[in-house]
Amino acid sequence: MLNINNITKIGFTLVVAWVAVSCNVQKKYQRPEEVSQDIVYRTDELSTDSISIATKSWREIFTDTTLQGYIEKALENNMDIRIAEQSIVSAEAYLKQYRQAILPSLTIGPNYAWQTPSLTSYSGRFSPNRIEVKQYDIMANLSWSFNLANSYSSTKRAQQAAYLSSVASHQSVKTALVSSVATSYYQLMAYDEQKRILEQTLDTRKRNLETNKALKQSGVVTEVAVRQSEALVANAEAQLLTLKNQTEVLEHALSILMAESPKAIERNKLSEQKLPKDFSTGYPAQLLSNRPDVMVAEFNLIQAFELTNVAKAAFYPRLTISASAGLQTMHLDKLFNASSILGSITAGLLQPVLQKRELKTQYEVRLANQQTAYLNFRKKMLVASREVSDALSTYSIQADFINHKNKELQAYIKAEEYSEELLKYGMVNYLEVLTANVSRLNAELNIVNAEYNQMKALVDLYQALGGGWK
């Protein structure tokens, strides 16, 4: 019979064995060194430092008060945001569950049992009378089971990573949402400016049409010029209809982002927008802590890494301990007597034997999942670096691009004026006037597009650096 000293020795031995095995099996996650090497910005314009515009609130970047109101409304009501929030709730519930998984399970409660044997059974044939057996008890049962390789710790860390991944996913949705609202708002203002230009162009072309009709009567131009003028008027009217459709569709999309029914969107003018003049990208490695989608990728890698630890731990023994204690009697009035007390303790060590192939398969699958998560992490970092570089490149050239386009516009305006003047004296045909007019219109529209692209590049850069969720 074991005395208390022997029990202590056995317990101490088990603890030492558990610590030794768990330390040998459980690996600690370390961020792959090559990941940081994948983060490079391609730019000759901006120097990196310790500060990034991603750390600024979106209110400091998008200063238009109307736009700010739309962003606030979208962050509050957007369906994707609310869906992501429920994912956090679910992940948090699982995390709480696994935090308690190491604790033993305890059940307690009263029981009543009644039994009588069959008179025709083996036990009943020796008794001519039916015997009734009643039993009353109040029992408490305690059970505890844990893997000697400490799979619990890895499981808990895996669930922690899953929870943090859901939080980062929610942040990623916020970043994308802020970017989408701002981009849509700027695009609507660009459409408004294009509409203004087309309306002015339409008025000009209508006047030119009347002029050409008068010039035809005087013999300066032919019917061809009149028909070409009519075609230009129809072309401008068609472009306005297309622009109207694009505007309404975009208004509907922006409404949905705010979880509202499609409606008209109030907005300011493109010329009133102020862009940040001085900003910095920060160190490339800051993408690891600034970009929510990158954080999601790393948390997924951590989860896969820890689940691999869990699969490896399954090869090692599992210790189970169970204990029960309570009161039991056949007579209810004697239930609380000292003689009714009973108890038991059992312990066992279970080593997988015949399940080796199944366990090995699970381990190999976990290793493959871990490698997949690692590759996705590296891919996400490469994509993030490319997106920052693209946005930097686009933003840096827009100012010069707009300047060149303005020079081009002025040249087309002069060419159109000269061609119209020469047409009156019959020194050029109307085809040259038509070409100059179309070129001027396209140049004006291109400038508006360039201004929009500059704003969009800023939005893209802000999102690429991981801004918008703080």
What is the mean pLDDT for each group of 10 consecutive residues in the chain (470 residues)? 48 51 69 74 53 82 93 91 86 76 75 74 64 79 75 84 90 92 95 93 86 81 84 93 96 94 93 76 75 92 92 82 80 77 77 76 92 93 87 84 88 82 69 77 88 90 85
Question: The CATH number of the domain where 353 resides is what?
Answer: 1.20.1600.10
* Res 128: pLDDT: 63
Q: Give domain status of residue 367, yes or no.
A: yes
CA angle in degrees (0–180, nearest 5) for 281-285-68: 40
Instruction: Give domain status of residue 19, yes or no.
Output: no
- Enter the pTM of the model: 0.77
SS3 (DSSP) at 110:
strand
In a domain, 1, yes or no: no
- 12 is a domain residue: no
Within a domain: 330: yes
Range of the domain at 37: 26-464
Burial class of residue 254, CB neighbours in 10 A (0-12, 13-18, 19+)? buried
CA dihedral 439, 441, 446, 447 (to 10 degrees): 120
Quote the pLDDT of residue 191: 96
* DSSP element (H, E) containing 449: helix 430-464
Does the residue 6 lie in any domain? no
> Taking the CA of residue 259 as centre, how many other CA atoms within 13 Å lie in the half-sphere pointing to its CB?
14
pLDDT at residue 111, rounded to an integer: 82
Nearest to 151 by CA among 293, 294, 21, 329: 21
Whole-angstrom distance, CA of residue 299 vs CA of residue 310:
16
Which two three-digit tokens encode residue 420? 């119209």
Q: What are residue 52's phi and psi, to 5 degrees?
A: -135, 145
DSSP 44: S
Contact present, 181 and 74 (Cβ < 8 Å): yes
In whole angstroms, give the CA distance from residue 84 to residue 91.
Answer: 11
Question: What pLDDT is stored for residue 10 in this prediction?
Answer: 47
Task: Give pLDDT, residue 114.
Answer: 77
DSSP 173-226: HHHHHHHHHHHHHHHHHHHHHHHHHHHHHHHHHHHHHHHHHHHHHTTSS-HHHH
Query: Is residue 153 one of the residues assigned to a domain?
Result: yes
Q: What is the pLDDT of residue 243?
A: 95
| Cα within 13 Å of Cα(186), Cβ side | 24
Tokens 């933003």 identify what position?
395
Supply 74's token pair.
């979208």
Own/partner long-range contacts of 420-424 (Cβ < 8 Å, ≥24 apart): 420/208, 423/215, 423/220, 423/221, 424/215, 424/220
Number of domains in the chain: 1
Q: What is the pLDDT of residue 375?
A: 94
Predicted local confidence at residue 2, as pLDDT: 41
- Residue holding tokens 């003047």? 421
Residue 15 lies in a domain: no
